[in-house]
Structures are given as structure tokens and as C-alpha cells.
Amino acid sequence: MEKLKIAGGYSLKGTIKVSGAKNSAVALIPATILAETPVTIEGLPNISDVGILKTLLEEIGGAVTFEDGEMVVDPTQMVSMPLPNGKVKKLRASYYLMGAMLGRFKKAVIGLPGGCHLGPRPIDQHIKGFEALGAKVTNEQGAIYLRADELHGARIYLDVVSVGATINIMLAAVKAKGKTVIENAAKEPEIIDVATLLTNMGAKIKGAGTDVIRIEGVESLNGCRHTIIPDRIEAGTFMLLGAAAGDGVLIDNVIPHHLESLTAKLREMGVPIEVGDEQIFIGKGEHLKAVDIKTLVYPGFPTDLQQPFTSLLTKAEGTSVVTDTIYSARFKHIDELRRMNANIKVEGRSAIINGATTLQGAKVKASDLRAGAALVIAGLMAEGITEVTGLEHIDRGYSNLVEKLEGLGATIWREKMTEEEMEQQKSL
């Protein structure tokens, strides 16, 4: 096991490139199950979630190669093998195997998904969608059993706007007989990306990116080549670290439209920003003002940037309030920021940050992926050395983070943990 060490307080400068979107990748890869000939996806990030999904596709008989961000999946020999445990528990997005396997084989057995602990994360809307399409769904000893004689189109109204349920229902519906309408669908860019792949495979989907998605089922889907969209959350993380510890950071390979809510908030704080076609430049963030943020579904402020934003807010003059309306318990990073001298308290679904404070390096633990990003930003801002453990979370979602930050002049490195440190981790 490794930990991350960061010598903070240095100004970051230069260009940093964004990788392919994690939350697209984890849906695009299962979507390949639906094809009858090989699918190529290019620009995939080098993260552990992608590696795990590759092995899961291999477990069900897929022939998969992955090199330089390009994955080729030959799904011809795949079978509906039960995947009740093991790797499926490591990531939340293993739930997409349910929709994709149901769509292709009309049956699947998938363990309940893992992923970051951010409060309750039910999948009732996914199941409601599968049932509406004609599947019988049961939960037996921690695994979801799905079976249908035939899938047929249906009108499905989502009670909660859910990215996962919207994508999962699309996956199950593209080969169902007849027309499916998903109402109150999520509108995140990753949904459009998955719909684009499926459309290039031969699916008939209209309205992805709006709150009503219409799908006309087709008999079969074929392979194609697809380029993934850039990761808006990784790009947002880099914007935040540019504002927090930068002296001119250019973020390359971005779709600026995906980040408008963040750009507006940073400008409100006084961060100088220039927006190009595929790049965003973040100038030195000085004399920053406190702001309030409330996370919302897209195009509102993303919950996935709430934690990294909190680190930046410790540098702003005044009191900021961060409210997460999507998850009830996405505040595990706050205790760690406090160890670093931040003045923050949590009340209900809000964190109240009083600034400006100068963060001090400390030993901290990432409890989840974006908490990890928040602590890396805090470490880059802090005086002295910060040690971040829980790297397995960061590795799930940030591709080559150390190398990318070194490219901006950061002093950051990975170090092996001692036996004693690993024992301490277990007891925390």
C-alpha cells in the first residue's frame, strides 16, 4: 500500500491535460456487451475502475485489449455468467452490468454495487425501470437477479433524477421491443456520451441530454469506434487547484460548457478565468471572496466538485456555506481539513467554512474519491508536508495524478506505507 506525500505552498504553473471521463467510461465499457461485433473506445482514463470493468467483461467471456487509452472489446463469445461478488463490489458503476446484460441476455445476476460511501445510495429507480421493461427482479443474499422472457418498451417516470438509472434503463431498452420513454431523466453530459455510443452501434435514441429520452428498440447492435468525452470533474478539480495553489494554470482538453456552474462560482470569488474552445486558463487566485454553493443535478453545481471546492474556500475571506442536496453524508473530508487547521463545521447537509486560514500540512486520510481530491488540493495549499492515505480511492478516478501535478511543478510523490502505518489504517 502507498501513501501520497505533498510539499505544499509552491505555486503551480503550466499546462495540465484532462483525461477521458470516468463516469462515462464506467457506462461505455458495459455498453459494449450489447454489440454483436467488436467495439473500440478511445481516450479512456487509466484508472482502477476501468481496469476492474475490463476484468469483469473478460470473466463473462469478452476478449478485451486495453492499450494507450484504447479499449477494444470483442463481445461475440460473452455469456450471462453470474457476477455476484468480488470485483463488482469495488465500484458503484458495476450496476451498469445489470442493464447491459439484461438487454443482451434477458438475464443477469449481479452483486449489489460498491463505490464511495456518501450516505444511502439506493438503486430503486434502476429496478423500477427494469421491471417496467418486463424484467422480474429479486434481491437474493446481496445479489440482484434479473430475468425477462422478453423486454418490451415502456413509459418510465423517474421519481428521483438519477444519472445511473437513466443510463441503465437506456442500456436495457435499446434492444427491447417497441418504444421506451424515460421521463424526468438526468441530463448529465455522460448520458449524451453513452447515447452517442449506442446510436453509433445502431440504437435509436432521441432526447439524451434533455429530461425526456425516447428509445425505439432495435433487433441488433453492431460494433463501432467511439471517442470518450473529457472528464468534467477532473477538469473542475484542476480548475480548483489552479485557483487554490496556482500562478497561471492552463487546463487542456475541456468542454468549457460542461463547467459553466463552476466557472461562474470561481469568477464570483474573484478568480481570473479565460475560457477558450477546449481550454480554460486559471489565473492566480488572490484576495478571494467567500461564496455559497448548493449542489444540484446538471447543469447545476456538481456534487462531485463540492468537496474539492471546500478546500479552496478555506482561502476565501469571510463565511461560505456549502450545501449538498444530492448526498446526505458527503462531508467526511471536513474532519481531515480541520486537522490541517481549517475552520469548518458541519450542520445537517451544509458545511460552514470560515476563512481565510492558512492550511498546515498534516497526516490525513481520503475516505472517498472526491474527498481525496479535496485533500490533495489542501496539501498543495498548505505549509509543510501533507501525507494522504486512502490512495485506492483517488486511483479509482484520477488518471496519473502525480505525474500530471509534477508537470505543473508540484512536489508530490508516492511512498510505500510501513507495516505499522498499514496496521494503524486498519484500526481507524
| One of 4, 6, 165, 366 touching ligand EPU (CB under 6 A) | 165
Question: Rounded to whole angstroms, what are the CA distances from 298 to 132, 191, 275?
Answer: 25, 11, 20
Closest C-alpha among 238, 210, 215 to residue 308:
238
| One of 33, 123, 362, 377 touching ligand EPU (CB under 6 A) | 123
180 binds ligand EPU (CB under 6 A): no
Only one of the segments 120-128, 143-151, 172-180, 197-205 lies at the binding site for ligand EPU (rule: CB under 6 A); that segment is 120-128
CB of 326 to ligand EPU, least distance (A): 5
| One of 99, 164, 217, 355 touching ligand EPU (CB under 6 A) | 164
> At 72, which helix (H) or strand (E)?
strand 70-74
Q: C-alpha cell of 224?
A: 463501432
CB-based burial, 286-297: b 16+ in 10 Å, e otherwise:
eebebbebebbb
303 binds ligand EPU (CB under 6 A): yes
Beta bridge partners of 72: 40, 65
Only one of the segments 155-163, 193-201, 220-228, 406-414 lies at the binding site for ligand EPU (rule: CB under 6 A); that segment is 155-163
Residue 263 and residue 251 in contact, taking contact as beta carbons nearer than 8 Å: no
Question: Rounded to whole angstroms, what are the CA distances from 193 to 27, 48, 189, 333?
Answer: 9, 21, 6, 30
Q: C-alpha cell of 67?
A: 492499450
Q: C-alpha cell of 372?
A: 481525496
The Cα–Cα gap between 41 and 141 comes to: 34
121 binds ligand EPU (CB under 6 A): yes
Name the closest residue to ligand EPU (Cβ).
164
CB of 115 to ligand EPU, least distance (A): 7
Q: Which is nearer to ligand EPU, 79 or 160 (CB)?
A: 160
Only one of the segments 104-112, 162-170, 234-242, 274-282 lies at the binding site for ligand EPU (rule: CB under 6 A); that segment is 162-170
| One of 94, 162, 261, 263 touching ligand EPU (CB under 6 A) | 162
Q: Kindly identify the residues of this chain, within the stretch 31-90, that bind ligand EPU according to CB under 6 A.
A: none
Q: C-alpha cell of 64?
A: 478485451
Kindly state the number of chain residues that form the binding site for ligand EPU, as judged by CB under 6 A. Answer: 26
CB of 206 to ligand EPU, least distance (A): 21
| One of 102, 116, 240, 408 touching ligand EPU (CB under 6 A) | 116
Question: Rounded to whole angstroms, what are the CA distances from 64 to 40, 97, 251, 296?
Answer: 10, 16, 31, 36
53 DSSP assignment: H
Task: Catalogue the E-assigned strands of 141-243.
Answer: 143-147, 155-157, 179-183, 204-206, 212-216, 225-227
Only one of the segments 159-167, 271-279, 308-316, 336-344 lies at the binding site for ligand EPU (rule: CB under 6 A); that segment is 159-167
CB of 361 to ligand EPU, least distance (A): 25
| One of 198, 290, 326, 364 touching ligand EPU (CB under 6 A) | 326
Binding mask 261-280 for ligand EPU (x = CB under 6 A): --------------------
Catalytic residue among 116, 161, 167, 262: 116
The Cα–Cα gap between 24 and 94 comes to: 13
| One of 17, 54, 365, 370 touching ligand EPU (CB under 6 A) | 370
Q: Under 8 Å CB-to-CB from 393, ≥6 apart: which residues?
A: 116, 366, 367, 368, 369, 371, 372
Binding mask 198-237 for ligand EPU (x = CB under 6 A): -----------------------------------x----
224 in catalytic set = no
The Cα–Cα gap between 77 and 60 comes to: 8
Sign of CA dihedral 389, 391, 392, 394: positive
The Cα–Cα gap between 393 and 412 comes to: 17
Q: Kindly identify the residues of this chain, within the stretch 15-34, that bind ligand EPU according to CB under 6 A.
A: 23, 26
| One of 94, 125, 196, 314 touching ligand EPU (CB under 6 A) | 125
**Residues near ligand EPU, by CB under 6 A:** 23, 26, 92-93, 116, 120-126, 160, 162-165, 186, 233, 303-304, 326-327, 369-370, 397
Hey, which residues are catalytic here?
116
